[in-house]
Structure 1
Amino acid sequence: MNPAAVILCFSLVYGTCKGARYEEDITIIGAGIGGTYTGWRLRNKGLRVGIYEYSDRVGGRMYTRRFPDAPDLPIEFGAMRLLPEEHLRMMKAGNELGLHFVPFNEGLGKIPNRTILFYRDTHMTTFELGGTHTPYSLRPEELRNPVDLEQYLSETYSNYNGTDPKTELFTAVTHDGVPLYQQSYKELIQKTGISKEAYNYIIDSSLFHDDVFDTQSILRFPRSRKNTTPHITTSRLPPVVTVSEGMDSFPKGFMKQFTSSNPFRHRYFRNRQLVKISRSKRGKLKLKFKRTRTINGKTIRTKRSFKVYTRNVILALPKVPLQNIRMPVSSNARFQSALNSVTDVKASKIFLVYDYAWWLYGPMNFTYTHSDLPYRQSFHWGISRTGKAILLISYADFEDPLFWSQLQQRGKVISKRNDDTRVTDQVVKHAHYQLSKVYNINFTHIPKPVDGMMFVWEMYPFKGAWCVWKPGSRWYDIKNFLTKPFLFNNIYIVHGYWGAEYRTWGEATLKAADDVLSYFKLSSYLT
């Protein structure tokens, strides 16, 4: 083996080789979809590139697991679906990686004939919502489908048209002349004068709660007027798809091709946390790392450290880890303001495995449910070739994940593993009780699950499953600034947190990566 390689390996793995000075052309921090895609696109440039990951897992928020009893049905704790018409980079990359796109049967939720709704102890179909059966004390003008109600509010109380969203989102105003982007959704709704019952109706019927309170109103309120030109579909695929191999096949596929394309110049190091960026006497960026350890899914920092010297550093990280890195410019007010323009949103998913799909055999055999109860949404995930059935029994965000997180700490573990994805009998008890009301069956008639896994996006380094913009944020200005926030430092940021067009989706991160890669003379992936 090359002696230099031995020194490199010993120094980085054990952090004890004082004399070695390891230099890279580009150092990427984070092995999620953004970091791995960035390395993948740089794989043929002949550069020395390293990717460093805080945990022991490639994927970030693309987090796929499998049950031993149903190995052919990957479950997704993070990203689980794609929109072929909009996520063009993801679709192109998936095809290049050899992945297989298949329909995501529940789409974006609330598909008629597949859905039962349950609000205020009342069962409804999607066709009944907004009719006389709606269990809210609404005024006559409010008694309509919530989508139509919000359309009415947008058209009545703002001048937004939707013909040029990129511009209009930041120029449109409410009837009192205040720009939409400067207001929270809650503030704006109160200005419309609708009843409190109508506001509760909008909240309860929303699939997610991240954008109905104090977040920026333009995430939700503006609706294109009905006379605008409709979108023309060009894809031959269904409107919503997933990947049969699992969504983490994207980052894992990127990483595999990145490392294999040049094993001597492309390296991946797990369990490394970047804690400081400074400038060396030679003008290179000096990166200080701490070694970490991951045990049963939980990652902790150790005292052992090492240094890497680099010409460029690309930070493919969410907000909180970025804020925790010490760097000469970290006190820059504009930089901190840009990072703080978004708020993390907690979310949780609970998957249970059963001997049969009991939810398909009762009086209400619907494959998707939505409710004002803490479980919020449930999805028929599928029936394995082994005969076992998987139910995504709860998908919740905002305030409800705390409820499930607390239950995860109580009771007896029923899962076949006791790591950070464990499920307890208390989780099962409360989930079954809520679903028994929705499916209108006796609580005791729901069979015991044979296995379960859950995940709550609340721990470091993520602190949330996605993010939302705060009022007053000008998306495109912030996004462009954060791409390369410091003129005289080769520090770049790649993350969909501050994406504009494709907020919260993987596509936003790939777009952010393409913007950074333009500094390295790489054209857009879509070119």
Structure 2
Amino acid sequence: MTFLLFIFLLPHVTCTWPGLWPEHNHEDDCLDVAIIGAGIGGTYTGYRLRNRGLKLAIFEYSDRIGGRMFTAQIPTVPGTTVDFGAMRLNPKEHTFLVRTARQLGLNIVDFPLNYGNRNETIYYLRGRHLLPDELGGPKTPYNLRPSERLSPGDLLWKLYTENTNMSGLAYPSESEIYTIYTRDGYPLYTMSMDNFLSRYASREAYSYLRDALVWNHATGRFGAQIGLDFLTFITDSNAPDDLKTVQNGLDQVPKRLLSAFVRASPRHSVRLNHQLTSMRGRPGNYRLRFHPTRTVAGYTKPTLLPDRYVCARKVVLAIQKDCVEKVNFAPYQSSEFRRRIGAVIPIQAQKSLPCLPLPLDRLQQCE
């Protein structure tokens, strides 16, 4: 699932803004809770608060509900859906999500773990189509070293077994992972995937693994030991055999949560195409500034419309940490906040673009 950062800004005093608010804003207009983000975190927050007699609003940067739970319909194959972000769950680990989905009346169905018929599965790498059995062969469009001309999974396994003290005969247990050291003497659990690959693989091999494996775990800032968990997952003999999903796509969960939220009270609202740019105030008395956006063909951009201001007694940020960092709010500028938020690594949907460098008073949502 997705990693979301929740920051609860503490409660309740009053709601007056002498000299700051437009004249039509009054204390009665103040929201009890402003929820930023209409992904699984924001919609679930609204769902849990829906029957408490509060005035609530959920604000979303784009025109779409679900965030990283992004399900698309295939126009040429009616009734067929594709999940581009969160797509499956393990009932033994994701008990909370399974229980919530069932409470919402959603059907939990099997998710067969396979990679399709190998004769029908095609990779598209650097402008070239390849069958799975061709990966690592002469048609692979990467300048790999002779020792790197392997399938992506085999290459990753080779890099681990040849450059650490782990055995090449079996996957390490969870406790054994913390006894693995590189041949240079570094504990594996202290390294990122990027750090590990930069030491023991060519740059072309890095690109090959990133492109062919697709998963975030294969490269990037994730801990190098996570790559071992990833390998156990993609190996049929070790992968869970009871994976499930939600019928018609996992985005049915946030959509049902939002539907229940809206139906619960006429005081609840959902405001799409609202980009949070700054926050001011103190607990119980926050002033939020939003910039209107417009979504066309799935792309959301700022507009030239004037900013809008909202009063809220509490605020919940249910957005990715990279975007939280770009909110103009004084407490977020502290070194302690920066240090703590740096330990959070977001996971994005496959459709996502990275947050662009923006002025501090502009927030770009990464879904």
After TM superposition, give the deviation of residue 254 of structure 1 in Å. 0.4
Output the CA distance in 1 between the equivalents of 2:124 and 2:58: 46
Output the CA distance in 2 between the equivalents of 1:197 and 1:308: 50
Output the CA distance in 1 between the equivalents of 2:48 and 2:217: 34
Within 5 Å, give how 1:122-201 maps onto structure 2: 124-126=131-133, 138-139=146-147, 145-158=151-164, 162-164=172-174, 168=177, 172-189=180-197, 191-192=199-200, 196=202, 199=205
Within 5 Å, give how 1:389-400 maps onto structure 2: none
AA of the residue aligned to 2:253: F
Within 5 Å, give how 1:426-505 maps onto structure 2: 457-458=353-354
Partner residue in 2 for 1:73: 80
Q: Does 1:257 align with 2:260?
A: yes
Distance 1:74 1:202, change over 3 A: closer
Unmatched segments (≥5 aa) in structure 1: 1-13, 350-455, 466-527
Output the CA distance in 1 between the equivalents of 2:214 and 2:57: 37
Q: Deviations over 1:42-93 (max 9, x none)?
A: 33445443322233332223344546665533455x4262133444333332
8 Å Cα contact 1:278-1:286 kept in structure 2: yes
Partner residue in 2 for 1:55: 62
AA of the residue aligned to 1:318: Q
Output the CA distance in 1 between the equivalents of 2:64 and 2:122: 37
Aligned to 2:185, the other structure's residue is in SS state coil
Distance 1:164 1:285, change over 3 A: farther
Output the CA distance in 2 between the equivalents of 1:187 and 1:93: 38
Aligned to 2:80, the other structure's residue is in SS state strand
Partner residue in 2 for 1:284: 284
Unmatched segments (≥5 aa) in structure 2: 1-20, 357-362
Q: Does 1:115 align with 2:121?
A: yes
8 Å Cα contact 1:277-1:285 kept in structure 2: no
- Percent of aligned positions with the same letter in both sequences? 25
Match of 1:29 among 24, 36, 57: 36
After TM superposition, give the deviation of residue 39 of structure 1 in Å. 1.6
Partner residue in 2 for 1:358: none
8 Å Cα contact 1:102-1:241 kept in structure 2: yes
Q: Deviations over 1:486-523 (max 9, x none)?
A: xxxxxxxxxxxxxxxxxxxxxxxxxxxxxxxxxxxxxx
Aligned to 1:330, the other structure's residue is in SS state helix
Output the CA distance in 2 between the equivalents of 1:249 and 1:318: 20
Query: Given the two structures, how large is their TM-score scaled by the length of structure 1?
Result: 0.50
8 Å Cα contact 1:118-1:124 kept in structure 2: no
Distance 1:191 1:56, change over 3 A: closer
Output the CA distance in 2 between the equivalents of 1:224 and 1:300: 38
After TM superposition, give the deviation of residue 156 of structure 1 in Å. 4.4
Partner residue in 1 for 2:6: none
After TM superposition, give the deviation of residue 215 of structure 1 in Å. 3.1
Partner residue in 2 for 1:218: 224
Within 5 Å, give how 1:274-313 maps onto structure 2: 274-280=276-282, 283-296=283-296, 297-300=299-302, 302-310=305-313, 312-313=314-315
Output the CA distance in 2 between the equivalents of 1:324 and 1:205: 29
Output the CA distance in 2 between the equivalents of 1:331 and 1:210: 29
- Report the RMSD for the aligned CA atoms in angstroms: 4.4
Aligned length: 326
After TM superposition, give the deviation of residue 256 of structure 1 in Å. 0.8
Q: Deviations over 1:274-312 (max 9, x none)?
A: 3333335xx5231322251425353425324323131x3
Q: Which has the higher contact order (CA 8 A, sep 6+)?
A: 2
Partner residue in 2 for 1:356: none
Match of 1:269 among 268, 271, 274: 271
Aligned to 1:57, the other structure's residue is in SS state coil
Aligned to 2:269, the other structure's residue is in SS state strand
Aligned to 2:325, the other structure's residue is in SS state helix
Partner residue in 2 for 1:243: 247
Partner residue in 2 for 1:327: 329
Match of 2:214 among 208, 211, 235: 208
After TM superposition, give the deviation of residue 118 of structure 1 in Å. 7.2
Distance 1:148 1:97, change over 3 A: same
After TM superposition, give the deviation of residue 147 of structure 1 in Å. 2.5
After TM superposition, give the deviation of residue 98 of structure 1 in Å. 2.2
After TM superposition, give the deviation of residue 336 of structure 1 in Å. 2.0
After TM superposition, give the deviation of residue 30 of structure 1 in Å. 1.1
Aligned to 2:330, the other structure's residue is in SS state coil
Q: Deviations over 1:151-192 (max 9, x none)?
A: 343244335674336x956x7532323233443434423544
8 Å Cα contact 2:31-2:311 kept in structure 1: yes
AA of the residue aligned to 1:250: V
Output the CA distance in 1 between the equivalents of 2:125 and 2:292: 45
Output the CA distance in 2 between the equivalents of 1:50 and 1:300: 21
Distance 1:72 1:205, change over 3 A: closer
Output the CA distance in 2 between the equivalents of 1:213 and 1:29: 30
